[in-house]
Amino acid sequence: MTARSDADAIAASLLDPKQFALVFDRHAATVFRFLVRRVGRDPAEDLLGETFRVAFEARASYDVAYDNARPWLYGIATNLVSKHQRGRARAQRAQSRLPTADTATCPFDASDAALDATVLWPQVVTAVHQLPADQFDVLLLHVWEELSYEEIAVALAIPVGTVRSRLSRARTRLRDTLQHPTTWPAAISTPEELAR
């Protein structure tokens, strides 16, 4: 007996909504891990529920030609993450307008830090966060979620060629920013830090 595909479960859920639970059971842990990497654990819990709520409400528009719903779910989650981050950015801009205490820094601290090999990781985090949103999304879906170009294209509703070009531009931009073209891919190994 072959397992039911996600497409079959989604189609069946149009008449029997409980059938959608199969899609949740199969993909909730993976989508949650993706969300934690993007926004941290607490917001990820809320966004996971929102992702599956949106998916459930949009299930009638799901293209049943795709047996696996994971790319579709990543697309929904990515859109919700973008909305969440726009809200955080607005809050940070508002907070940055508040007065802050001046802090004196030692001029030798910067030179000491430059000699420390651990200084590369914050540079990577900064460089990744400076990527345009479209390149950032493609990079994370490819590197951490290990989606193929075709799956990313489905998730983000863009052509495969656009996925390739955005990923290429992201890599080039990171290499140029970091000025360490052979170390940046290996350095991006702790996704939780990118969520900060």
Residue 65 DSSP code? T
Question: Are residues 28 and 81 located together in one domain of the fold?
Answer: yes
Question: Are residues 89 and 140 located together in one domain of the fold?
Answer: no
Question: Are residues 93 and 110 located together in one domain of the fold?
Answer: no
Q: What average pLDDT does this structure show over 37-51?
A: 92
We report the CATH number of the domain holding residue 122 as 1.10.10.10
Q: Regarding predicted confidence, which is higher, 188 or 138?
A: 138
Q: 93-125 in b/e burial notation, b at 16+ Cβ within 10 A?
A: eeeeeeeeeeeeeeeeeeeeeeeeeeeeeebbb
Percent residues over pLDDT 70 in the chain: 73
Q: Which domain holds residue 132?
A: 105-196
Q: Which of 72, 98, 124 is the last residue of a domain?
A: 98
Q: Which stretches of 58-119 are DSSP H helices?
A: 70-96, 107-115
Number of domains in the chain: 2
- pLDDT score of 84: 87
Phi, psi of 159 (to 5 degrees): -65, 155
Q: Which of 67, 98, 129 is the last residue of a domain?
A: 98
Question: Are residues 52 and 135 located together in one domain of the fold?
Answer: no
Question: Are residues 115 and 184 located together in one domain of the fold?
Answer: yes
- pLDDT score of 188: 45
- pLDDT score of 71: 95
d(CA 112, CA 134): 35
Question: Are residues 53 and 141 located together in one domain of the fold?
Answer: no
Question: Are residues 110 and 190 located together in one domain of the fold?
Answer: yes
Mean pLDDT, all residues of the chain:
80
Largest CA distance in the chain: 69
Give pLDDT tens digits for 66-115.
999 999 999 999 999 999 888 776 666 666 665 554 444 555 554 444 44
**By C-alpha distance, which of 8, 82, 95 is closest to 38?**
82
- Rg over alpha carbons for the chain, rounded to the nearest Å, is 20
- pLDDT score of 179: 65
Q: Which of 82, 98, 114 is the last residue of a domain?
A: 98
d(CA 120, CA 27): 34
Confidence check: pLDDT of 159 > 50: yes
In this prediction, residue 61 has a pLDDT band, given cuts at 50, 70 and 90, of: very high
In this prediction, residue 181 has a pLDDT band, given cuts at 50, 70 and 90, of: very low
Question: pTM of the predicted model, to two decimals?
Answer: 0.61
Percent residues over pLDDT 90 in the chain: 44
Question: Are residues 142 and 71 located together in one domain of the fold?
Answer: no
We report the CATH number of the domain holding residue 42 as 1.10.1740.10
Confidence check: pLDDT of 35 > 90: yes
Question: Are residues 113 and 172 located together in one domain of the fold?
Answer: yes
- pLDDT score of 178: 73
Question: Are residues 34 and 94 located together in one domain of the fold?
Answer: yes
Question: Are residues 188 and 121 located together in one domain of the fold?
Answer: yes
